[in-house]
Structure 1
Amino acid sequence: MVKDWQVRKRRPVRRKQVAPLLSALEKNLGIDFNLEGAFLEMAEYGPWNLMIVNKEPHAVEVLDDDDNKVAALTLRGLLANNSEKSWLEVDRGAIPFLMNGADCMAAGIHAADTAVESGDLVWIRDQEHKRPLALGWACMDAEEMISATKGKAVRTLHWVGDELWSMEF
């Protein structure tokens, strides 16, 4: 899925202006942001809102199927801030497909956060190194993903190598 989106309305912001986004991230992913002395910016990227920290996109607000805003870390944000919530682990065979933007199939998933439910925004990591590979919407519950041998488990939104990953400011 190639996105022809442009970064628009990029502007510097103060921490208190992104406080609602930060509190949503802390609630959803259980992380504590340390943004002391960081240069914060907000921008629009298609229908998404980006939070840019020190010229790297670290967080994004996306719309779910009901047009509600959901906050998540980008893959660069996940690399900078370790999260132990809303994750799935895939085997080595799934990695090349995920790096090309494919949806994640249940056959490749070997472990998951047990709190993941269908419709949640989840991040996918590799089984060996625990590094983030993709971000997407869960199509199944965690137990179903682990036990299923076929079917789509995650609808991918953002992956290593896409436009958002390659973005430089």
Structure 2
Amino acid sequence: MAIKVKKRNFLKKKKIKQIKSELGEYGGLLENKKKVEILEAEPNSFILVDGEPYIIMIDDKAFPTLKAALANEIDGKKVTVDMGAIRFVTNGADIMSPGIVAADDGIEPGDIVLIIDETHGKPLAVGVSLITGEEMVENDSGKAVETKHYVGDDIWNFEV
């Protein structure tokens, strides 16, 4: 699936403020940036920060991209998976409870979470939590996080 660019415009301060509040703790990605643009594309639009795709709009909801997570220190909610889960995560699989070794306190269903690996702490995916952080670690079966963007997908390979 290729990403087709339609148009590119600068965002107004009001729209930037709205997206920052949607992103919650990931809103810092838009702090004091010089150029914030929207790149309208099919199937998903991007928010470019200084020319880099830092935020993706999926189903009209803003998510940080993995490139943004790697380029910035993000203080968002994190879910740590064991090394055996990495192969599945990088193929786009949803995150299952048995593969989770740790989850930040305060994760609630519907929260945007960053999936990181156990050894290096590097971001592997961005998703939406389906259960609380406590349940992710305690449960020994079932889905815990719905994956929205992962290393190696079209978003990861997207170049402006």
Q: Tell me, in whole angstroms, the C-alpha distance in 1 between the residues paired with 2:96 and 2:5.
A: 31
Structure 2 letter corresponding to 1:127: E
RMSD of equivalent CA atoms? 2.3
Q: Tell me, in whole angstroms, the C-alpha distance in 2 between the residues paired with 1:7 and 1:138.
A: 30
Residue matched to 1:40: 36
Say whether residues 1:108 and 2:99 are aligned partners. Answer: yes
TM-score (norm 2): 0.84
The structural deviation recorded for 1:142 is 0.5
1:148 is matched with which residue: 136, 139, 147?
139
Q: Tell me, in whole angstroms, the C-alpha distance in 1 between the residues paired with 2:107 and 2:154.
A: 27
Residue matched to 1:89: 80
Q: Tell me, in whole angstroms, the C-alpha distance in 2 between the residues paired with 1:96 and 1:144.
A: 23
1:29 is matched with which residue: 2, 26, 49?
26
The structural deviation recorded for 1:12 is 3.4
Instruction: For structure 2, list consecutive stretches of 5 or more residues without a partner in the other structure.
Output: none
1:139 is matched with which residue: 130, 133, 142?
130
Residue matched to 1:125: 116
Structure 1 letter corresponding to 2:73: N
The structural deviation recorded for 1:110 is 0.8
Equivalent residue pairs, number: 160
Q: 1:7 to 1:113 in 2, by over 3 A?
A: farther
The structural deviation recorded for 1:30 is 6.6
Q: Tell me, in whole angstroms, the C-alpha distance in 2 between the residues paired with 1:98 and 1:134.
A: 7
Assess if the C-alpha contact under 8 Å between 1:85 and 1:113 holds in 2: no
The structural deviation recorded for 1:9 is 2.2
Identity %: 38
Residue matched to 1:160: 151
Q: Tell me, in whole angstroms, the C-alpha distance in 2 between the residues paired with 1:120 and 1:81.
A: 20
Instruction: For structure 1, list consecutive stretches of 5 or more residues without a partner in the other structure.
Output: 64-68
